[in-house]
Structure 1
Amino acid sequence: MPQPLVLPFKRVFISGGAGVIGQEMVRRLASMPDDIQVLVGDIKPRPADFPARFQYRQGDLNYLTAQEIGAFAPDVFIHLAATFERSTETYGFWEENFQHNVRLSHHLMTVQKDLPSLRRVVFASSYLIYDPELYNFADVPAQPRSLREDDPILPRNLTGMAKLAHEIELRFLQTFRAEQFSTAIPRIYRGYGRNGRDITSRWVRMLLAGEEITVYGAESYFDYLYAADTAEGLLRLAAAETVTGIINLGTGQARRVSEVVEVLRQNFPDLRAQYVDSNIPFEASQADMTLWKSQIDWLPPTTLEAAIPEIITYERARTAAPPAKAPGHVLISSVAAKVPLVQAVRAAAKRLHPEIKVIGGDMNNNCLAQHFTDSFWLMPPTADEHLPDILHYCREQGISHIIPTRDGELAFWSRHRAALADAGISVLVSSPDAVQCCLDKLEFSAFGQQTGLPVIPTALNLDAQYLFGGQEATAETSFVVKERHGAGSLSLGLNLPEAAALAHAKTLEEPIFQPFIKGREISVDAYVDRQGTVRGLVPRTRDVITRGESQVTTTLDDPALVARLMPIIARFGLYGPLVLQALLTDDGGLHIIECNCRFGGASTLGIAAGVDSFFWFLQEAAGADLTQFPFQAASGPLRQVRAAVDTVFTVNNEHDAS
């Protein structure tokens, strides 16, 4: 009788944990003591039955950062994530295999290989690495060939090549990191299970639909390994820290394809099967489990006769369930020349799901940023009478996310965010009251004064006593004059004496007056989630400013300032990304100038520093709990320099025509 599984680890990271094997593994871990923490990463949405206490990171793991995984600090990494096709791969699999097998495996070890916490790595490899001459035959085989770990290798397809490449990478790392972590590489045989893409699950789905199944190579042998057993075996291998290197994982008892059909017939008496001759060689392989038996006190117990009824039950229940909703696309309105913003949104969308498209919208058919989007929409003005047209376009294009980028449109999107939400569209915008407060500098200042926040006083006239806290104006007193609405840096009169301030005010439409305060100007990038929690915050200095935007900006490492800003920003009642402008004076004072309740021109530095605004927005829109995606501050100061660059790409006529 095998011993119960006891994991010597407390923190488990599983890549591809929403796959067939991964879901079985998570169920197994959920039955273990509550002190075991699990982080699952997968491109698919979080399965409904995953325990709330387990962390889940949805998105392309090629974009997992060292900060993200370092914050979780795994003891053991179980690498399941992979993409595959059938044994004969299509031409289009060339790039997919590289991106989600070769590149992904390399990247996941790159961000983990130096983690002090990491003690164990288990990489799910494949028997496809072995030379197919050992187990492929032109004639019907009499019996299966047992493959040993030291048999000749020659991967028979791209998937096998990718598995072998990473086996070699792990062997390389072990020459340098063997004292830090051990590595086990199970070569897994013919997998099948609930919710699978394997032929067994496909046949079950066809039979439930009353269809005839097509059977190729009925006399071939495969070592069928049930996913629940694979998950158990991998966890037991992870726990056996002294077992390293390559090891077979199968049942060691191959079954013919015709036997699978007969088991199905026992469950579907009216089964109709068409047996087709093929020029594909017969396969006859199974795992030699000698090494496994000598190291692990457990063998896969589940037979086809036991597993197939479970798969049928699962597929029946899944057929009755509503289909999973595909991820919607993203519309960036007023895209203009905001190329860095577009690139940041595209990067976030790819992390969530590779099929999400980013659509640029603008009233200018020649706007620059359209060349960096997946498609472009010459959209109507954001006025109330055009809302039906906007809704129609979003439904037609499958848009479920909208990111406004211009102050002048925020009120429109905010007014209609409920109607858009009813249509299944999430808009990255705050409530109408909060938007109005930020757009009106006079109202924003009054709010700050009423709530005791350090917002610079603002007035409609040169009321020096009000602006300077009861003090009379002197010859040294100077003022700031700006427009009440719109970008505060445009038409700005700075450090003006009283007469000059009054003269400058006459050139403005709605002038407002503020006291001139000498200090160090900073911007603060932050993101506030739907619950009103400040999810992340990064202050930065404005080193070189052109037309009100930071051409050179540097993050400011000041924990005390961050702690001071957090409750202030929470008081504004905003949602989504924001940019706070403020002054720091030599006496330690903080003076808030204004707040822009949208993503800022240089806020891409905030993303690089950990304020992951667009990714957080997409995750929230998908129903994720952002506690699963904590703010991870950059390890040191970062500087961003905004400079023009040339981009050359192949002309896409279809895109241009749009």
Structure 2
Amino acid sequence: MPQPLELPFKRIFISGGAGVIGQEMTRRLATLNADIQVLVGDIKPRPVDFPAQFQYRQGDLNFLTEAEIADFAPDLFIHLAATFERSTETYGFWEENFRHNVQLSHHLMTVQKDLPSLRRVVFASSYLIYDPALYNFTEVPAAPRSLRETDPILPRNLTGMAKLAHEIELRFLDTFRAQQFSTVAPRIYRGYGRNGRDITSRWVRMLLAGEEITVYGAESFFDYLYAADTAEGLLRLAAAETVTGLVNLGTGRARRVAEVVDVLKQNFPGMRAKYVASDIPFEASQADMTLWSSQIDWLPPTTLEVAIPEIIAFERARQDTLAATEASAAKGPGHVLISSISAKVPLAHAVKNAAKRLNPGIKIVGGDLNPQALGFHFTDESWAMPMTTDEHLSAIIGHCQTQGITRIIPTRDGELAFWSRHRAALADASIAVLVSPPEAVQRCLDKLEFSTFGQENGLPIIPTSLSIDTLAGDQPNPNAAFVVKERHGAGSLSLGLNLPYAAAVAHAQTLSEPIFQPFIQGREISVDGYVSRSGRVHGLVARTRDVVVRGESQITTTFHDPQLLARLTPIIEKLGLYGPFVLQALLTPDDGLHIIECNSRFGGASTLGIAAGVDSFFWFLQEAAGADLQQFPFRPVAGPLRQVRMATDVVVAV
């Protein structure tokens, strides 16, 4: 009787944990010691039944940073993440294999190899590494060939090549890091399991639908390894820290394809199966488990006769939700609309970069009234969209649903009220919008209301009035100076700055709806930040406005002032914002803080905020996918950064 599984690890990072093996593994880990902490990273969304106590990070792990994984500090890394194709690899798999097999494996070890916490690495390799001449035959094989770890290797496809490449990388690291962590690469045999993409699961789904199945190579042998057993085996191998290098993981008992069909017949007596001849060689392989058995007191116990009824029961149980799941999958990863894109090229690049980190399949759609908008040249698709007015709401929602757009990023002050007002209707259509609640949007758009809110709540917002005399008093100070601007919109475009009383009154005559503020001499700064769905400030970066052109920072530099940011945090949270914002303020020599205004959207120079750590668009995409931003903490970049905004030429082939 094998001993119960005991893991000598407390913090486990699993890549590809939303796959068939990964889900079995997380379910198994959830039954073990409650002290175990698990972080799963996967490009797919969090599975519905994923253990609530474990952390889940959705996104392309090629963008996982050393700082991010160091925060979790794993002592065990189980690398399951991989991409593959069902049988013959297509021409298009060339790039996919490199990015999500070769490059990903290399990257994940790069960001972890120097972590002091890491003690053990388990890499899910494959028997596809062995020379196929050992187990492929032109004639019907009489018996399977047992493959040993010492047998010749010659990967039979790109997936096998990628597995071998990382085996060699781990062997290289052993030369330098063996005293820090141990590595083992189990070569896994023919996997199948619940919710799988393997032929067994596909056959079960077809039979449940009353369809005929097609059987190729019925005489071939495969070492069928149930995913639940694979997960158990990998965890037991992880616990056996003295086992290193290469080791087979299979049952050691190959079964013919015809036997799989026989088990299906036992469960579907009326099934229809068509046997088709093929020019594909017969396979006859199984794992030689001698090395495994000499070091691990456990062998995979689940037979086809036990596993297939479990797969059938699983597929039957999810029939009610299967159609909805497939319909959702057919819609793709959910695309992003940037509305009023105009010439906001740096913003488009920033959104593209964020989306790529979450899922490379996400498309960025530029939307604008102008069919010749410059930004259209820098998005995946373009949409000459209607005006953002109430009568066009249904058409906008309909277009988004047809095009698979599930997230919208407004970029213009004039449209914020529209998107905010219809947030609920858009949410009902499964469309998330990066916009604050209506009252917060209105508060930021109306400079008088913004100031009044500040006065009522004890916030250091510069006093604002419709009447200059309210500020000047009955006996105006002849040395007093004022600021005059429009009540709504971009006040800097018609700004009257540092004006004496008479000049301020005269300038007001040139404006549509002027407001007055006292002129305060100080250093003007901008603060880029992001407020999460919970209403908490998730990240703040302050920057000086070194050169300002038409109200936007042409040259701007970040600076580090923890006391200032700590002072600003509760102020910002009182404003009731959601998502990115830009706060403008003055700092005076007497340690005074005077807030000028707040834009409840991503600003023109806010790309510097992203570079400095305020990862606004990635955070939005994660929240829209249901993630808790505690999984993505704010990590400010050390040292000041300067951004110079400039025009540049782009030449493309047409």
TM class, shorter-chain normalised?
A: over 0.9
- Secondary structure of the residue that 1:380 maps to in structure 2? coil
Pairing 1:643–2:649 present:
no
Q: Report Cα offsets for 1:406-432 as digits up to 9, x if no partner.
A: 001111222222222233322221222
- Secondary structure of the residue that 1:486 maps to in structure 2? coil
Residue of structure 1 aligned with 2:450, choices 444, 455, 477: 444
Q: Are 2:559 and 2:639, in contact at CA under 8 Å, matched by a contact in 1? A: no
- Opposite residue 68 of structure 2, the aligned amino acid is E
1:394–1:263 distance in 2 versus 1, CA, 3 Å: same
Deviation at 1:375, TM superposition (A): 1.2
- Secondary structure of the residue that 1:321 maps to in structure 2? helix
The aligned residue for residue 274 of structure 1 is 274
- Opposite residue 584 of structure 2, the aligned amino acid is Q
The aligned residue for residue 420 of structure 1 is 426
Q: Are 2:144 and 2:284, in contact at CA under 8 Å, matched by a contact in 1? A: yes
Q: Report Cα offsets for 1:165-194 as digits up to 9, x if no partner.
A: 222222222323222222111111111111
Deviation at 1:273, TM superposition (A): 1.7
Deviation at 1:359, TM superposition (A): 1.2
- Secondary structure of the residue that 2:242 maps to in structure 1? coil
Deviation at 1:8, TM superposition (A): 1.4
The aligned residue for residue 463 of structure 2 is 457
Residue of structure 1 aligned with 2:625, choices 622, 625, 630: 622
Pairing 1:407–2:413 present:
yes
Deviation at 1:476, TM superposition (A): 4.2
Q: Structure 1: how far apart are the matches of 2:214 and 2:117?
A: 49
Q: Report Cα offsets for 1:306-365 as digits up to 9, x if no partner.
A: 111111111111222242224432211100011121122222223333332221111111
Pairing 1:81–2:87 present:
no
Identity, in percent, stands at 79
Deviation at 1:27, TM superposition (A): 0.3
The aligned residue for residue 234 of structure 1 is 234
The aligned residue for residue 105 of structure 1 is 105
- Opposite residue 255 of structure 1, the aligned amino acid is R
Q: Structure 2: how far apart are the matches of 1:224 and 1:609?
A: 50
The aligned residue for residue 293 of structure 2 is 293
Residue of structure 2 aligned with 1:510, choices 490, 513, 522: 513
Q: Report Cα offsets for 1:180-222 as digits up to 9, x if no partner.
A: 2221111111111111111111111111112221111111111
The aligned residue for residue 587 of structure 1 is 590
Q: Structure 1: how far apart are the matches of 2:10 and 2:56?
A: 16
- Secondary structure of the residue that 2:319 maps to in structure 1? helix
Compare 506-515 and 362-371 and name the one that shifted more. 506-515
What is the TM-score normalised by the length of structure 2?
0.95
1:109–1:554 distance in 2 versus 1, CA, 3 Å: farther
- Opposite residue 304 of structure 1, the aligned amino acid is L
Q: Structure 2: how far apart are the matches of 1:341 and 1:297?
A: 56
1:112–1:447 distance in 2 versus 1, CA, 3 Å: same
The aligned residue for residue 389 of structure 1 is 395
Residue of structure 2 aligned with 1:349, choices 349, 355, 358: 355
Unaligned runs of 5+ in 1: 652-658
Q: Structure 2: how far apart are the matches of 1:455 and 1:222?
A: 72
What is the TM-score normalised by the length of structure 1?
0.94
Pairing 1:5–2:5 present:
yes
The aligned residue for residue 316 of structure 2 is 316
Pairing 1:362–2:368 present:
yes
Q: Structure 2: how far apart are the matches of 1:53 and 1:522?
A: 41
The aligned residue for residue 523 of structure 1 is 526
- Secondary structure of the residue that 1:5 maps to in structure 2? coil
Q: Are 1:87 and 1:157, in contact at CA under 8 Å, matched by a contact in 2? A: no
- Secondary structure of the residue that 2:516 maps to in structure 1? strand
Q: Structure 2: how far apart are the matches of 1:46 and 1:471?
A: 64
- Opposite residue 282 of structure 2, the aligned amino acid is F
Unaligned runs of 5+ in 2: none
Q: Structure 2: how far apart are the matches of 1:363 and 1:541?
A: 33
The aligned residue for residue 654 of structure 1 is none
Deviation at 1:494, TM superposition (A): 2.3
Compare 112-121 and 193-202 and name the one that shifted more. 112-121
Q: Are 2:350 and 2:607, in contact at CA under 8 Å, matched by a contact in 1? A: yes
- Secondary structure of the residue that 2:228 maps to in structure 1? helix
Pairing 1:598–2:601 present:
yes
Q: Report Cα offsets for 1:544-564 as digits up to 9, x if no partner.
A: 322222233333222222221
Pairing 1:481–2:484 present:
yes
- Secondary structure of the residue that 2:649 maps to in structure 1? coil
Q: Are 1:336 and 1:367, in contact at CA under 8 Å, matched by a contact in 2? A: yes
Deviation at 1:472, TM superposition (A): 6.8
Q: Structure 2: how far apart are the matches of 1:392 and 1:301?
A: 52
Deviation at 1:517, TM superposition (A): 2.1
- Secondary structure of the residue that 1:489 maps to in structure 2? helix
Pairing 1:21–2:24 present:
no
Q: Structure 2: how far apart are the matches of 1:499 and 1:411?
A: 36
Compare 224-233 and 582-591 and name the one that shifted more. 582-591
Q: Structure 2: how far apart are the matches of 1:475 and 1:315?
A: 83
Pairing 1:398–2:398 present:
no
Deviation at 1:524, TM superposition (A): 1.4
Count of paired positions: 648
Q: Structure 2: how far apart are the matches of 1:184 and 1:636?
A: 40
Across the aligned residues of Structure 1 and Structure 2, the Cα RMSD in angstroms comes to 1.9
Q: Report Cα offsets for 1:26-55 as digits up to 9, x if no partner.
A: 001111122111111112121122122211
- Secondary structure of the residue that 2:122 maps to in structure 1? strand
The aligned residue for residue 551 of structure 1 is 554
Compare 203-212 and 349-358 and name the one that shifted more. 349-358
- Secondary structure of the residue that 1:532 maps to in structure 2? coil
Compare 615-624 and 83-92 and name the one that shifted more. 615-624
The aligned residue for residue 94 of structure 1 is 94
